[in-house]
Amino acid sequence: MNMNDMIDMANAMSSRPKVNPFEYDTIKCDECGSENFTPVMQFRKIPGLLVGEKEDILYPHKVFICRNCGALSPMSKEEIDEINKLSKKEKKSDLII
């Protein structure tokens, strides 16, 4: 099976429009310019009271770090910023006045 066959098969399994991902720019590390990232897990500690549990729970969140310098990938940074924004909105809405 050649590369085009694999791309066609992946596109057939998806409901997205057919595209060749190898025709587009790669994401680069903001710090060192590397294009190689490794997936790692970060854990968030969520107070048990907020989710109806007796004890705090750990929430795993997959992020990507640069294999060269260890910086978070730009996509991971954007995702974490978005989660933090949502979290701040929720905290504000829970205030009792």
Give pLDDT tens digits for 54-84. Answer: 999 999 988 899 999 999 888 777 877 887 7
Q: Which of 53, 44, 57, 56 lies closest to 83, judged by CA?
A: 44
Q: Which of 92, 81, 80 lies closest to 43, judged by CA?
A: 80
Instruction: Give the E-state strand segments of the chain in sequence order.
Output: 37-46, 57-66
Ranked by mean pLDDT, the top range of 9-13, 14-18, 26-30, 71-75 is: 26-30
- Residue 42 CB coordination number (10 Å): 13
Average pLDDT of every residue of the chain: 81
Q: What is the mean pLDDT of residues 91-97?
A: 49
- pLDDT computed for residue 94 by the predictor: 52
- pLDDT computed for residue 97 by the predictor: 42
Residue 52 clears pLDDT 50, i.e. is over it = yes
For residues 49 and 55, is the Cβ–Cβ distance under 8 A? no
Which tokens go with 12?
Answer: 């057939």
